Structure 1
Amino acid sequence: MSCSTEHIITNILRNPKRTVSVSTRQAKQLHAHIVKTKGTFHDDNILVLSLYSNLNLLHHSLHLFNSLPSPPPPLAWSSLIKCYTSHSLLHLSFSSFKSMRSLSVPANQHVFPSLLKASTLLKHHKLAHSLHASVVRLGLDSDLYISNALINMYAKFCNFSVAANAGNVFDVIPHREKFEIDSVGKIFDMMPVRDVVSWNTVIAGYAQNGMYVEALNMVRKMGNNGNLKPDSFTLSSILPVFAEYVDVYRGKEIHGYALRHGFDGDVFIGSSLVDMYAKCNRLEHSIEVFRLLPRKDAISWNSIIAGCVQNGEFDRGLGFFRRMLKENVRPMHVSFSSVIPACAHLTAMSLGKQLHGCITRLGFDDNEFIASSLVDMYAKCGNIKMARYVFDRIGKRDTVSWTAIIMGCAMHGHALDAVSLFENMLEDGIRPCYVAFMAVLTACSHAGLVDEGWRYFNTMEREFGIAPGLEHYAAVADLLGRAGRLEEAYDFISNMGVQATGSVWSTLLAACRAHKSVELAEKVVDKLLLIDPENMGAYVLMSNIYSAARRWKDAARLRIHMRKKGLKKIPACSWIEVGKEVHTFMAGDKSHPYYDKINEALNVLLEQMEKEGYVLDTNEVLHDVDEDHKRDMLHNHSERLAIAFGIISTTAGTTIRIIKNIRVCADCHTAIKFISKIVGREIVVRDNSRFHHFKNGSCSCGDYW
């Protein structure tokens, strides 16, 4: 035995009530020393049991407990119960307490903190209240550690109540939730002595339950307390409040306090600051705080990755994820929940597949949050089959996973599947959320299911207590507009329960263009520009409507008005990823290094298409030019250039995936159907509203889009 170990053992035996930091090896040596010098049944073994319990050594604790003379003293029972609770063996904690009481062993102040923690983890309200009553009867309610445990318990129970009642719009604040949070304040106020843990527990409890004003007030009171000052835990608890309020100025005050008191190197404070600045739209501040952290753990890496993604800096988020892996920091499940949406937004499916492989290797593939993100990513990247494959293997499906697959099916033209999945969700007892209704209404809109769409819209508030929002009204307007029921759509928008926005009127304006209703379009655009006079899309749509009706002067007048207002039309653009490189094509663009080969491929395809019966629809060219010029313009639409490049750059049979920033025109839609049949490939085109899957001469939208 080393001299340092002998010194530690001597200190423990001389001062058994004083907390001493020991290793597992030193605790075992102490046990051996006591058995050798004093015997198996000596009272000092209870001290060893306490050390084993603090070190979470369940097997050693249990073995030593069973070797004690019966009945073991209260401290032995409290050590065993603490160890069971630490290992989440909660029922064994309570069965041990029951055995202890049956042997008439009195309960002391050491046993209740562990039991209160166990009842919290079990979310067992009645059991917790019974323990509180026992504490009061035994006169232990003034004990510092028990009071801290009670505050933590009631704060957590309030949080559970909020989560459980999240979908209940009729109860503003449930009775149980109010009781729990009131208990937090009452216990704290009645405590004769408070330590930093007491203050921090109350502050964190208020913050986690959305009681931000109360949390801030408690921090101020703590700061005015002469003996106790906020520590790193206090600051990391309060920073999310400023993130929620988007109050960067107060957040900076906390940052300054942390710098003045030397907390800036603390990894928890650093992660909270990164998160706070990101949520306050100060991403550069987040990156600077992250850069200055002397030590970066998985939580701080997750914070900066999530911050980048939340602020739309998807490439940066992926870059930080790569750096995290290079520095051998093992990703947590939340790392993937943050980075997968970046792949979805960038439609980077090859990278998404690599992440999926990494998830499987790390054993996170059974995590429902990650699985939901994967469903959403695959759907947004154009692979609905893989999205459905992942969804079908989720063990415990929640509202998020159901909504992700329903929206995915809706965007890919699988409307009947989307409606069927929505009904399956209801049968499984899952309450649909705000977004789930958006998904099913979108599905109905894309398939012309007018009656079903009306039924879902009417059941939102009546059966589920969800008030329709602008997105739902826009979906119903789109549903009616696509079905050609333009006047009905106009009346619906005019009599909405909320103030219509430009985006809602835009859906009807697009329908007017599709159904060539110039008169109604003029009424709609007047309404739209009254609300949103700078809406460039409205001018472009109306100009196109006039052009399609051969009202060239009216179209020219609008274009002149746009120029005077400084509004510029967004040029049509298409993207394709080939060999991990994204290629961009503009309409009529000849700058691509492979343009000559692309043009040659398009000419060959056009010749074969015309043999199959394809006829150019020059009505889609909304310019007052001759027919040859119109043919040339259609021939060089951005999606055709991208598809031709995909054909000449990939092996036969490879699926071609294209993204376009605006709606696919009717002629290109017809042409791509012919191309898919001629080359024998599936071509997936994602435009600004949905996915089109072209295969064997047909499209998944059924020509209804």
Structure 2
Amino acid sequence: MMTDAMNLFERMPIRDVVSWTSLMSGYSRSGEECGKALELFLWMRARGEALANEFTYDCILRVCGKLGALDYGKCVHGCLMKCGFELDQSVCGALIEFYCNCDAVENAMRVSNQLNSPCLSASNTLIASLVSAGRIENAELVFNQMIERNSVTYNLMIKGYAQEGRIADSKNLFAEMPCKNIVSLNTMISVYHQNGDLDEAVNIFNHIKQEKNTVTWNSMISGYIQDDQNTEALKLYAAMRRSSVECSRSTFSALFRACASIGTLQQGRMLHAHLSKTPFESNTYVGTSLVDMYAKCGSITDARTSFNNIDSPNIASWTALINALAHSGHATEAILMFVQMIKKGIDPNVVTFVGLILACGHAGMVNEGMNFFNSMQKNYGLVPTLEHYACMVDLLGRSGLVREAEKFITEMPVEADTAIWGALLNACWFCMDLEVGENVAERMLSFDSKNITAFVVMSNIYAKLGKWQEVMKVRKRLRELNVKKIPGCSWIEVKEIVHVFCVEDRNHPQRDEIYDVLDELIANDSSFIDSDTGFHCYREDL
């Protein structure tokens, strides 16, 4: 009841430091009015009615941390030093947490180093910030100097070791941990998945799944997805529902990624139906995963609808839709979405521009694509990556500007990789530019003498131009290298099961039935036009 508290405070004839600090503390916990605590602190100093004590500084530092007010917090730090509180345990703990919340971890470490024994909470906060910043050695140093540790301390270091790939250290620390809890076990499930120890992860999961902890099930689902076992993740979700385990937004975000990976639209829609019965449908992160899933499963209409249902779309949400439109050939709509995003005051990121340049490439909008590329650094301070350069080469190549694309590569400020040269080689195939194609193929082979793409594309160019001797030379080199091109594949979803078919694939369990139906179709029409080559084909060609 902060309004009443403020009215009473203003009527007080005498206000001491306890009165001021009590009101600041109230505002510090009031969410939207948190900033008023800082205003009160400045007002108290200006009026000179009372001198701040250690409780005042503790409170106001935590407020500055919540607000991310680094400059104000530094001023408060200066004030408390003048008052002799720089070695107070409580105040220093608040200082460490303040600097960590403001991503000023160096300052936090300096405060920690001047104390003989920082409090447990402050040390844990410091370790968490160091782990988040990827400074595991510094975190390890703080951990080793701690006199008192709890489960939070161990869990943070286990996560830090795993994050740096020090899986053995994670396991050893877990083994010596005296106070294992559900968080520790969940962390180890993720660690084992990260290391590819699926059996160990399953073993822990089976021991604790009866506790029906949402994070436990989410960790296992995410682990399956990380191990590229998306179908197992979906099966585990079904078991999760049967066990009446509560789902969280992370559950749905992970599962939509699984559906996107295997292209199962029906499963995705079923999950969406479950999602609609929860409060998470309008959540930014879940909604973004839903947009991405529908886009990758080929339903751009559902992707648009899902985006419109998000309460507060962030840059990831807008970028997901822009990329979805770009990949679906809706270039103009993708650009219009970008304009809307800018009008709403949301700055693009590097991924946004990948989608925009890709959209321009599909629509042959060379000038627009070049403008987007140039505006990245000029207008938004974003440095183009190799992916952006590859998209630009593809844009120029698709538009028949092969020589311009080659010049663009030679003028790049960074060295081109095989992906960029590969984009140019594909453009040579599209435009039948033999001279540039041969030069590019040689460059690609200088990076990797067994680059299959270079051989296959050049073989296709030679064949198209009728240079059959050159075709035979290329194919002979391929045979000598004893390498094979990964076959193309297609898939279809029938009754919530995705069936994948590769070239000359005879492994499908229903292959005989499929070929019987195909034979029947061909029998009714003995010839047809191949849509890829334009040649007239007959039944015996299959």
1:354-369 pair list within 5 angstroms: 354-369=270-285
Q: Is the 8 A contact 2:24 2:38 kept in 1?
A: no
Q: Is the 8 A contact 1:90 1:118 kept in 2?
A: no
Where structure 1 has 5 or more consecutive residues not aligned to the other structure, the ranges are 1-57, 159-179, 223-227, 622-626, 637-705
* CA distance in structure 2 between the partners assigned to 1:541 and 1:96 by the alignment: 68
1:638-677 pair list within 5 angstroms: none
Q: Which residue of 2 aligns with 1:123?
A: 68
Q: C-alpha deviations, 1:555-589, integer Å up to 9, x for none?
A: 33333332332212333432111211223444566
Q: Is the 8 A contact 2:25 2:37 kept in 1?
A: no
Q: Which residue of 2 aligns with 1:318?
A: 234
Q: CA deviation at 1:424?
A: 2.8
Q: CA deviation at 1:203?
A: 1.9
Q: CA deviation at 1:354?
A: 2.1
Where structure 2 has 5 or more consecutive residues not aligned to the other structure, the ranges are none
Q: Which residue of 2 aligns with 1:232?
A: 151
Residues 205 and 92 of structure 1, relative CA distance in 2, 3 Å threshold: closer
Q: Which residue of 1 aligns with 2:460?
A: 544
Residues 441 and 631 of structure 1, relative CA distance in 2, 3 Å threshold: farther
The equivalent position to 1:350 in structure 2, one of 251, 263, 266, is 266
The equivalent position to 2:164 in structure 1, one of 226, 233, 245, is 245
* CA distance in structure 1 between the partners assigned to 2:406 and 2:40 by the alignment: 69
1:170-181 pair list within 5 angstroms: 180-181=104-105
Q: CA deviation at 1:191?
A: 3.4
Q: Which residue of 2 aligns with 1:559?
A: 475
* CA distance in structure 2 between the partners assigned to 1:274 and 1:365 by the alignment: 27
* CA distance in structure 2 between the partners assigned to 1:327 and 1:187 by the alignment: 48
Residues 323 and 85 of structure 1, relative CA distance in 2, 3 Å threshold: farther
Q: CA deviation at 1:155?
A: 0.8
* CA distance in structure 2 between the partners assigned to 1:230 and 1:402 by the alignment: 43
Residues 565 and 332 of structure 1, relative CA distance in 2, 3 Å threshold: same
The equivalent position to 2:174 in structure 1, one of 243, 255, 258, is 258
Q: Is the 8 A contact 2:296 2:324 kept in 1?
A: yes
Matched letter for residue 596 of structure 1? D
* CA distance in structure 1 between the partners assigned to 2:477 and 2:121 by the alignment: 66
Q: C-alpha deviations, 1:236-259, integer Å up to 9, x for none?
A: 2223333332233xxx22422331
Q: Is the 8 A contact 2:27 2:37 kept in 1?
A: no
The equivalent position to 1:327 in structure 2, one of 243, 248, 252, is 243
Q: Which residue of 2 aligns with 1:153?
A: 98
Residues 140 and 569 of structure 1, relative CA distance in 2, 3 Å threshold: closer
Q: Percent identity?
A: 28
1:271 maps onto 2:186 in alignment: yes
* CA distance in structure 1 between the partners assigned to 2:472 and 2:101 by the alignment: 65
Q: C-alpha deviations, 1:56-92, integer Å up to 9, x for none?
A: xx99xx9xx99xx999998899788767755647549
* CA distance in structure 2 between the partners assigned to 1:291 and 1:181 by the alignment: 39
The equivalent position to 1:143 in structure 2, one of 80, 88, 91, is 88
Q: Which residue of 2 aligns with 1:596?
A: 516
Matched letter for residue 150 of structure 1? L
Q: CA deviation at 1:382?
A: 0.2
* CA distance in structure 2 between the partners assigned to 1:361 and 1:483 by the alignment: 47
Q: Which residue of 2 aligns with 1:204?
A: 128
Q: CA deviation at 1:344?
A: 0.9
Q: Which residue of 2 aligns with 1:309?
A: 225
Q: Which residue of 1 aligns with 2:114?
A: 190
* CA distance in structure 1 between the partners assigned to 2:188 and 2:22 by the alignment: 38
Residues 239 and 83 of structure 1, relative CA distance in 2, 3 Å threshold: farther
Q: CA deviation at 1:346?
A: 0.9
1:94 maps onto 2:37 in alignment: yes
Which secondary structure does the structure 2 equivalent of 1:583 belong to? strand
TM-score normalised by L of structure 2: 0.84
Matched letter for residue 369 of structure 2? G
Q: C-alpha deviations, 1:196-218, integer Å up to 9, x for none?
A: 33322322233234443322221
* CA distance in structure 2 between the partners assigned to 1:134 and 1:618 by the alignment: 76
Q: Is the 8 A contact 2:158 2:174 kept in 1?
A: no
Matched letter for residue 427 of structure 1? K
Residues 602 and 111 of structure 1, relative CA distance in 2, 3 Å threshold: farther
Q: CA deviation at 1:378?
A: 0.7
Q: C-alpha deviations, 1:217-241, integer Å up to 9, x for none?
A: 212333xxxxx14432122222333
Q: Is the 8 A contact 2:393 2:408 kept in 1?
A: yes
User: Highest CA radius of gyration, 1 or 2?
Assistant: 1
- Name the stretch that deviates more: 284-293 or 70-79: 70-79
* CA distance in structure 2 between the partners assigned to 1:434 and 1:490 by the alignment: 23
Q: CA RMSD in A?
A: 3.8
1:621-700 pair list within 5 angstroms: 630-632=537-539
* CA distance in structure 1 between the partners assigned to 2:413 and 2:110 by the alignment: 43
Residues 530 and 204 of structure 1, relative CA distance in 2, 3 Å threshold: same
Number of corresponding residues: 530
Q: Which residue of 2 aligns with 1:300?
A: 216
Q: C-alpha deviations, 1:632-675, integer Å up to 9, x for none?
A: 477x5xxxxxxxxxxxxxxxxxxxxxxxxxxxxxxxxxxxxxxx
Q: Is the 8 A contact 1:152 1:205 kept in 2?
A: no
Q: Is the 8 A contact 2:15 2:49 kept in 1?
A: no
* CA distance in structure 1 between the partners assigned to 2:540 and 2:56 by the alignment: 81
Which secondary structure does the structure 2 equivalent of 1:593 belong to? helix
Q: CA deviation at 1:387?
A: 0.8
1:44-123 pair list within 5 angstroms: 88=31, 90-91=33-34, 94=37, 109-110=54-55, 113-123=58-68
Q: Which residue of 2 aligns with 1:508?
A: 424
The equivalent position to 2:375 in structure 1, one of 456, 459, 468, is 459
* CA distance in structure 2 between the partners assigned to 1:293 and 1:137 by the alignment: 53
Residues 584 and 302 of structure 1, relative CA distance in 2, 3 Å threshold: closer
Matched letter for residue 181 of structure 1? V
Q: Is the 8 A contact 1:616 1:631 kept in 2?
A: no
* CA distance in structure 2 between the partners assigned to 1:606 and 1:363 by the alignment: 56
Residues 603 and 380 of structure 1, relative CA distance in 2, 3 Å threshold: farther
Residues 81 and 89 of structure 1, relative CA distance in 2, 3 Å threshold: farther
Q: Which residue of 1 aligns with 2:143?
A: 219
Which secondary structure does the structure 1 equivalent of 2:102 belong to? helix
Q: Is the 8 A contact 1:147 1:188 kept in 2?
A: yes
* CA distance in structure 2 between the partners assigned to 1:399 and 1:92 by the alignment: 27
Q: CA deviation at 1:487?
A: 2.3
* CA distance in structure 2 between the partners assigned to 1:602 and 1:105 by the alignment: 95
Residues 104 and 323 of structure 1, relative CA distance in 2, 3 Å threshold: farther
1:424-443 pair list within 5 angstroms: 424-443=340-359
1:528 maps onto 2:455 in alignment: no
Q: CA deviation at 1:372?
A: 1.2
Q: Is the 8 A contact 1:548 1:620 kept in 2?
A: no
Q: Is the 8 A contact 1:441 1:476 kept in 2?
A: yes
Q: Is the 8 A contact 1:243 1:277 kept in 2?
A: no
Q: Is the 8 A contact 1:142 1:192 kept in 2?
A: no
Q: Is the 8 A contact 1:359 1:365 kept in 2?
A: yes
Q: Which residue of 1 aligns with 2:321?
A: 405
Q: CA deviation at 1:270?
A: 2.5
* CA distance in structure 1 between the partners assigned to 2:473 and 2:128 by the alignment: 61
Matched letter for residue 497 of structure 1? P
* CA distance in structure 1 between the partners assigned to 2:324 and 2:163 by the alignment: 30
